[in-house]
Amino acid sequence: MLAYRIDSSDRVPNLSQTPIPAPGEGQVRLQIEACGLNFADLLMIEGRYQDTPPLPFTLGMEVAGVIDAVGPGVTDLVPGERVALFGGQGGLAEYGVFEAARAVPLPDSMSSVVAAGFQIAYGTSHLALDHRARLTPGETLLVLGAAGGVGLTAVEIGKLMGARVIACARGPEKLEVARRAGADHLIDAREADIRAEVKALGGADVVYDAVGGEQFDAAFRACNPEARILTIGFASGTVPQIKANHLLVKNLTVMGLYWGGYLKFRPEALTGSLAQLFDWHAQGKLHPHVSQVLPLARVAEGLELLRSRASTGKVVIEIPG
């Protein structure tokens, strides 16, 4: 089978032939139809992600496809069933072996392309806003990187949860995508004084930050008393340094959210969140935005779209059988 792998210490990924794996105890083998790309894939290539697997490994964190075979002990899933799952690795291939417990059956209404980009982006935003920040109706939510893979879902979910949403993104085209997702106010990160504009809108009660750097600093200074700041990622490449005395003065809370970590210490929070999200999608309340669908041979191009922050919503690799 074809797989997009990192095989050697130079950490240069390549599309190569590798044997089709067999499922072990408690595992399923998936004929993969689509794999969502994530910023974490770029960090894995560089060896900087918190869960980077040991070499060699196949990239691709979240997938959708058809179960091709099941291993011993798997009784609730059968070959031919369509599922999505977060595997953490192994998704950019024609076949993959994954833990059966992570598989989520797909409704007929959701395509594999949409499903492959659904779990991490929507799961991150819902768990962050609902479980961590406890966003309530009427609060003001500021989303940095609001047209990106996770930021756009934060706009959509925040609005669905009853918040007033301020979307901050780079340029009018990206801001238009955020507006269509439900944003009430738009700020161009390339030109505006983020702090001044947010303050003029009454300040932020919750900040959703997938960018870091100078935008974090500006949002931090635009927070209302008792605001909650969610650190989701650092697409700018700069990790903010937080002055604890400033937290004290405004009674602020800064909290991290690593979605995949919940699989290890509190999986029921993650699975409950996904159940809510799939239900919302079935009701037509969520509208996933996939900006590019590329074949397996063009993975490098898809990753460059993420690296250059040129994409909106999700970039998905489609893998025909």
Q: Look at 21 and 271; give whichever has higher pLDDT.
A: 21
Q: What is the mean pLDDT of the chain?
A: 94
- pLDDT for 312 equals 87
- pLDDT for 237 equals 87
Mean pLDDT of the region 261-266: 88
Mean pLDDT of the region 6-10: 88
- 321 confidence band (pLDDT: 50, 70, 90): low
CATH 3.40.50.720 fits 124-260, yes or no: yes
Give the up-direction half-sphere exposure of residue 151: CA atoms within 13 A in the CB hemisphere: 31
Which DSSP symbol is given to 77?
Answer: -
- 50 confidence band (pLDDT: 50, 70, 90): confident
- pLDDT for 126 equals 97
Is the pTM value of this prediction over 0.85? yes
Report pLDDT digits (tens) over 92-113.
999 999 999 889 888 888 999 9
Same fold, 2-118+288-318 and 124-260: no
Spans of all domains in the chain: 2-118+288-318, 124-260
Report pLDDT digits (tens) over 155-201.
999 999 999 999 999 999 999 999 999 999 999 999 999 999 999 99
CA distance 63 to 110: 13
- Give the pairing type, strands 95-99 and 57-58: unpaired
Mean pLDDT of the region 102-126: 92
- pLDDT for 296 equals 96
Q: Of 2, 65, 5, 41, which Cα lies nearest the Cα of 302?
A: 41
- pLDDT for 258 equals 92
Report pLDDT digits (tens) over 227-260.
999 999 998 889 999 989 989 999 999 999 999 8
Q: Residues 92, 35: contact at Cβ < 8 Å?
A: yes
Residue range 2-118+288-318 forms a domain whose CATH class is alpha beta
Q: C-alpha angle with apex 297: 293 to 298, nearest 5 degrees? A: 50
